[in-house]
Amino acid sequence: MAQFTLYHASPSRSSIVMWMLEEVGQPYDMKLIKLSAGDSLKPDFLAINPMGKVPALKHGDVVITEVAAICAYLADEFPDKKLNVPVGTPRRGEYFKWLFFGPSVFEPAMTDRAFPRKEDPRAASLGWRDFDTVLDIVRKAVVKGPFLMGEQFTAADIVIGSGLRYGIMFKLVPERKEFQDYVARIAARPAAQRAEAKDKDIAAKAA
Ligand SMILES: N[C@@H](CCC(=O)N[C@@H](CS)C(=O)NCC(=O)O)C(=O)O
């Protein structure tokens, strides 16, 4: 039995964690959760993640949920892979900024764009700005390249880059060259390709 078990619905946000697991190169077992069959809301899975959402990653007796938390955890767990910015390095602050920016700013702003509200909430009470402003912040960060932290590819690229990939796929992020170039750079990584191939294989078997 591998030390990690990924609860995965293919394709979904848990595909991002699969990519991260491929980056750290650790063996992992996979438990497939079929969202269309309501698996995520069944008691067995609710015992793993009471929110009934994938991904969840089991490491020994510990269950970790939330994409960005899992990516940060794995990056710190395997520092030899150089996917984190270590404690004691001032740039860890910027690295953390991007890890948190993904789920707490980029994703909610993109969701607001995808599902506009009937009534605009008070901007000052939201933890994020409008999608165009947020996207421009991401654009300025990726245009310098090659990665968010410069020459070093980190878990933050997996989090923010996956948001961009999905955003482009769902036509929420404009197909601008700077986004496409960055996404192509990270998607070409062997680990990203392995994760994508595994998702294709799962989809083919389910068809
Ligand atoms: N905040 C969570 C979001 C996870 C999430 O929304 N997962 C979706 C799949 S992409 C899910 O499990 N949906 C099933 C459902 O809502 O029943 C994270 O970042 O991990």
CA separation for the pair 164, 177 (Å, rounded): 12
CB of 154 closer than 6 angstroms to any ligand 1 atom: no
pLDDT of 11-22, one tens digit each?
999 999 999 999
Residue 129 pLDDT class (50, 70, 90 cuts)? very high
- Measured from the Cα of 53, ligand 1's closest atom is 12
- Measured from the Cα of 103, ligand 1's closest atom is 19
CB of 165 closer than 6 angstroms to any ligand 1 atom: no
Predicted confidence (pLDDT) at residue 207 exceeds the cutoff of 90:
no
Predicted confidence (pLDDT) at residue 120 exceeds the cutoff of 90:
no
Note the pLDDT of residue 206: 86
CA separation for the pair 95, 76 (Å, rounded): 12
Note the pLDDT of residue 190: 98
What average pLDDT does this structure show over 30-44? 97
**pTM score, whole prediction:** 0.97
Cα 86 to averaged position of ligand 1 atoms, centre (Å) = 28
Beta-sheet strand order (sheet of 62-65): 28-32, 4-8, 56-59, 62-65
Q: How far is CA 139 from the centre of its chain?
A: 17
Residue type, 162: S
Q: How far is CA 110 from the centre of its chain?
A: 14
Q: 27 in helix, strand or coil?
A: coil
Cα 12 to averaged position of ligand 1 atoms, centre (Å) = 8
Per mean pLDDT, which range of 50-54, 116-120, 198-202 is the poorest?
Answer: 116-120
CB of 52 closer than 6 angstroms to any ligand 1 atom: yes
CB of 102 closer than 6 angstroms to any ligand 1 atom: no
User: Integer distance in angstroms from the first to the last C-alpha of the chain?
Assistant: 28
CA separation for the pair 176, 192 (Å, rounded): 21
